[in-house]
Structure 1
Amino acid sequence: MSQAETSVQSVTPLERARQWVSQSLTQENQITAYLEPLIQVVLPGWTTDAVRSKVIQVRPETNDVYTLVIRPGKRWKGFKAGQHLQITAEQNGSLQTRFFSVSSAPAYFKKTGLIEMSIRVQEGGRVTPWLRDAFAAGGICNLSPAEGDFTLPEGNQPVLMIAGGSGITPFRSMLSQMAASGDKRDAHLMFYVRDASNALFQEEFEKIAAEHDNIRVTFMNSAEKGVFSAEHIKEICPDFAERKVMICGPTPMIQLVRQVVSGEGVSADNIMFEYFGAAPIELDRADAKDAYVSFEKGGVAAISSAENPVSLLELAEQNGLKPLAGCRVGVCHQCKCTKKSGVVLNTLTGQYSDTGREDIQLCVSVPVNDVVLDV
């Protein structure tokens, strides 16, 4: 059965009836989409594809990290530990949107109705410092549905979590959820921090580890111990080859850890990772060639250089096009489009596409050979 057939059959008769009524009256699948501009007159920033929510508190964690404590609206459907979501807020009449992992546990949301997102202030950034200041006294934001596959694997396979900097946030959610739910799988966290003052959630992690024999936490002070190495992992977690290795942090750290653990015999199937930032472009240099890219709707053709590859989104923008885009790191899917022919590399997953027609994300796709896009 095709994906399209599955989608149609998953719609209930009542939902089809609602869509028929809405389309008959408004030419929209949902009446709320038709009414959205009118509702925004009363509730600025309201949207049909996100949930109006309230920021309760801004809690400082370190000099450059803070936590937003948020009460999602009733329509929000919850999340799995490790997932991320989109927060949107109004700044001087325009909407600002960013993606962050939920750093609290689903059990905490179930108990309190609250979620937490822990955010590092980006040097020179426009949004991360503004969010902290704008919500100092609380306020209204919009939350998207939670998404993402960087979650605890099914079953009881032991896990090794390797975090760097603000990449700790999904692991805080996972370990807190394990503690709350009684998950007995063996979990070991190696958390690399710049120095002792940047050891986020240290007391919380140490308390979890002290109360649960199956959870261990090791703080790695980079100022004293240096960056991740094979010697570190062999000393701290000698049975790492038997574990699912989960990595989250800055791009250079993820690349280093992947290289080291792969060299030590961990298979690609046992390595999970999530970038906090744009994924690197890694073309096979032996096969890399310049590619001819046709943006059909825009009436533009461009050459993608094999020596200095950029994403299809950047290539489109360099040539005067303005395709819809949001996060630019492969999370929000706003830049999804149809590739009509050619092969692209997804820099987020490392997977190559087929040659035929399929949906791709412009921001994380790099042409490998000549490509035709419905853009």
Structure 2
Amino acid sequence: MSQAETSVQSGSFFSKAHEWVAQSLTQQNKISAYLEPLIQMAVPGWTTEAIRSKVIQVRPETNDVYTLVIRPGKRWKGFTAGQHLQITAEQNGTLQTRFFSVSSAPAHFRKTGLIEMSIRVQEGGRVTPWLREAFAAGGICNLTPAEGDFVLPAGNDPVLMIAGGSGITPFRSMLSQMAATGDKRDAHLMFYVRDEANALFKEEFEKIAAQHENIRVTFMNSAEKGVFSAEHIQEVCPDFAERKVMICGPTPMIQLVRGVVSEQGVSAENIMFEYFGAAPIELDRADAKDAYVNFEKGGVAAMSSAENPVSLLELAEQNGLKPLAGCRVGVCHQCKCTKKSGVVLNTLTGQYSDTGREDIQLCVSVPVNDVVLDV
């Protein structure tokens, strides 16, 4: 056995030993996770799952879009253009968490140590308006490692990027990175905006296109041209069928564009998309229906009854799963997990979740519609 193999096996042994001790003593995989609530008393917002970072600036972009300029903590490992991350901040003693794409380029992070997240204020939203106010003078937040597969495809295949509204942010990161690194692939951006005043980063995109002949940008004013159509794509980018088509924006737009480009002959494997910025929603309990809950890691799909609802923790246990849990009343946070999609009701706060990805507590969450969990 080589020294390297011995080292790997030794590391694996100690890792498993630590996990066994932690689970035996605390019902957590890591002792630090058990201590998290205690540490938070002295250091608000501290968490084992994220990295304390500093908001340097809140920069206005339009009336309802702003950019957070953030210096991630030293343990943050960087990102690939197009990826997103989770930002968490404390609001009146409660941790608020949302996912946003990084709108700046990896090259900018390597040069300055800063990243940018450009955020649209959601009408009626609880978090997006508050973040702008909370960090007006700077402050501390938590960031998770970047993740996501909505990135430029490997190789040099030409791409057509179709964006709507604040769905432009991952494309800003990609095009800025291409410009910074000299990526010569052919890229064409079609950016649908409500009107001229909402053409985010217009000067920046025009400068990139003027300096790089392989990058083209077309602004589509929806007030004048209407929504995406086959006529638009045929006129603006007639060779679209030879490109990878990347789509990011509101759900109705993505569904429309996918349908149109598919009808125009673009194969499914050449269409990439990412839903962006799901708006907060409010549901009456009467709207709840029987729902399927997919416990992805456990390989279990279970039915939740709207007439006799139980918590997601109880539903998991009824179906043979054993997720970590402690107090079972929403205090210890040991059963926290990631909801990947769907809506849940927090029975402790009486609030409904957004439709997208976010952290929830199994013991106090009841599914309202079909839910996918990273459990």
For normalisation by structure 1, the TM-score amounts to 0.75
* Distance in 1 separating the partners of 2:231 and 2:374: 49
Q: Per-residue deviation at 1:41?
A: 2.0
Percent identity, aligned pairs only, is: 74
In the alignment, the residues of structure 2 paired with residue 299 and residue 72 of structure 1 have an alpha-carbon distance, to the nearest angstrom, of 38
User: Under a length normalisation based on structure 2, what TM-score does the superposition of the two structures give?
Assistant: 0.75
**Displacement after TM superposition at 1:252 (Å):** 1.0
Divergent runs of 4+, >3 A = 9-12, 21-31, 294-301, 311-314, 325-328, 331-336, 362-367
2:44 is aligned to: 44
1:50-90 deviation per Cα after TM superposition (whole angstroms, max 9, x unaligned)? 00000000000000000000000011111110011110000
Partner in structure 2 of residue 266 of structure 1: 266
Shift of 1:227: 1.0
Q: Deviations over 1:3-38 (max 9, x none)?
A: xxxxxx997633541552464375544343243233
Shift of 1:194: 0.5
Shift of 1:299: 6.2
For the 8 Å contact 2:150–2:273, the answer to whether it is kept is yes
Unmatched 5+ stretches in structure 1: 1-8, 280-289, 302-310, 337-361, 368-372
**Paired position in structure 2 for 1:352:** none
1:77 aligns with 2:77: yes
Relative distance call for 1:60 and 1:363 in structure 2 (3 A) is: farther
Query: Once structures 1 and 2 are overlaid, which stretch shifts more, 13-22 or 38-47?
Result: 13-22
String of CA shifts for 1:242-291, please: whole Å, max 9, x gaps: 00000000111111111111111001111011112459xxxxxxxxxx98
Secondary structure of 2:314 counterpart: coil
State the 1:374 CA deviation.
12
**Counterparts of 2:250 and 2:167 in 1: how far apart (Å)?**
7
Match of 1:298, SS state, is helix
- Which amino acid in the other structure matches residue 119 of structure 1? I
Out of 21, 25, 38, the residue aligned to residue 24 of structure 1 is 21
Aligned to 1:13: 10
- Whole-angstrom CA distance in 1 between matches of 2:93 and 2:158: 48
Selected match of 2:303 from 293, 315, 328? 293
Unaligned runs of 5+ in 2: 1-5, 280-290, 293-301, 305-309, 319-339
RMSD: 3.6
Partner residue of 1:370?
A: none
CA distance in 2, matches of 1:87, 1:312: 18
Alignment-derived partner of residue 188 in structure 2: 188
Contact 1:67–1:119 at 8 Å: present in 2 too? Answer: yes
Q: How does 1:1-375 map to 2 (within 5 A)?
A: 13-14=10-11, 16-21=13-18, 23-24=20-21, 27=26, 28-277=28-277, 293=303, 298=314, 314=343, 328-329=355-356, 331-332=357-358, 365=370
> Helix, strand or coil: the match of 1:153?
coil
Shift in Å at residue 40 of structure 1? 1.3
User: Does the 8 A contact of 1:58 with 1:68 survive in 2?
Assistant: yes
Task: Look up the equivalent residue of 1:57 and give its one-letter code.
Answer: Q
Counterpart code for 2:40: Q
CA distance in 2, matches of 1:198, 1:327: 25
